Structures are given as C-alpha cells and as structure tokens.
Structure 1
C-alpha cells in the first residue's frame, strides 16, 4: 500500500501529440513521440510501444496522459523524457489512456 502523499508525488499530465516518428532501433515496435504539455512543461519526448493499435496519422493531435516527473530514460539511441501511459489489451498490444473529452494540455491528473 502507498499513501495518498506518495500518489501525489507522481505528476501525471495531459499532453497533445504533435509529432510521431518511426523508431526502427527499438527492440519492440515503437514510435518516437513529441508531446506538448503546455507552457509550464513544454514539449517532451517519449518512446511508446503502441504500433499495434495506432498509426502515426491517427496519433497526431491525440490527447494522452503521461508521467512527467520521472528521470529521463535511454532507450537505445533515444532519450525518453516522459512515460506515456497505456494498458495492455490482453493480446500483446497497448491501449493509450486519454481523456474522454477535450481538456487543456498540461492539466494535472488528481
């Protein structure tokens, strides 16, 4: 069990995907994402293994949730700055977590 205080340390924000690139160097199929979190946080990079359910074109402009206060993580030649959140589909794919209505980028989950 964790306390609510522990949960508050995890900074989960809404961002909008503004660029999607292939990531051929990744061990598992993935995209390199640029996600805009608004003026306070800015644009951050993320690697995401979401190729099963999403095309690059379908991802552009999509709102997603991401942890923005983990330290950067090297994934091959790429530095991922945020953790884009998703859940497994039961068949090896990932389904993104996202708001069900449009919300301002940078909004913090609570």
Structure 2
C-alpha cells in the first residue's frame, strides 16, 4: 500500500471547492471482468457502464484479493471519469476505479449506498 493511503497518513493539503468540482466521480456498473495476467501486480481488466452520456469504459484494478471475477459483474462502483487514459501494460485504462485499503492493504471498492442511476455524479 502506498504510504499516502495508509490510515495513519497525514491529511492531504487543503483544496478549494472549485478544485474538488474538477474531479468527475460517477457511478457505473461492472458489466464484465477478466483476468489480467500481463499486469505487474495481480489485477483484473474490468468494463464499466456509466450510462448513455459516458458509456462503457475499461479499467485495470488491483482488487483480486477481496473480489472474485464471478462477484464483480453487476456491482455498482464509483470511478473518476475525467483523468486522461493510462496505459497499463497492454491495457488502456480509461477510468480510475475508487476504493479503500483494508487493514491488510488490499482494496475494497467504493460504491454507492442504495439504487443510484448509472452515470450519477458525486454531489
């Protein structure tokens, strides 16, 4: 786990509300997940549907410790949709899926509570 994400890491620098609004965090639903054997760290390739405006996007996620492929399809997740794409080995990751490190440093996905429409933006 990166030291900046540890539970005992210091609070990040203060930002203004306008800075926060620049980060576009949306709700999507995982429609498909596959193993990613070429990844340096154990990861899955996932495809997420963000609804009609943003559509389906691909990402790579290091979530293999807490999730099996079978339990990912249909799961709602939160992701940053306005970072530039990032090449991770042979995969072009188009969104950053959000999560929190558990006590062992493995990622737990951030997800909305209740039924939220696909593409809904974090308010």
Partner Cα distance (2:105, 2:16) in 1? 31
Q: 1:70 aligns with which of 63, 83, 86?
A: 83
Point out the structure with the larger strand share.
1
Which TM-score applies when normalising by structure 1? 0.98
Query: What's the counterpart of residue 36 of structure 1?
Result: 49
Partner Cα distance (1:92, 1:67) in 2? 21
- Aligned to 1:21, the other structure's residue is in SS state strand
Partner Cα distance (1:92, 1:73) in 2? 23
**CA apart distance, 1:92:** 2.5
RMSD of aligned alpha carbons: 0.6
Query: What's the counterpart of residue 100 of structure 1?
Result: 113
Segments of 5+ residues of structure 2 without an aligned counterpart are 1-13
- Displaced runs of 4+ in structure 1, greater than 3 A? none
Query: What's the counterpart of residue 39 of structure 2?
Result: 26
- Aligned to 1:57, the other structure's residue is in SS state helix
> Which has the higher Rg, Structure 1 or Structure 2?
2
Q: 1:52 aligns with which of 43, 48, 65?
A: 65
Which TM-score applies when normalising by structure 2? 0.88
Corresponding residue pairs, total: 110
Structure 1 residues 12-70: Cα deviation after superposition (integer angstroms, max 9, x where no partner): 00000000000000111000000000000000000000000101110100000000000
Segments of 5+ residues of structure 1 without an aligned counterpart are none
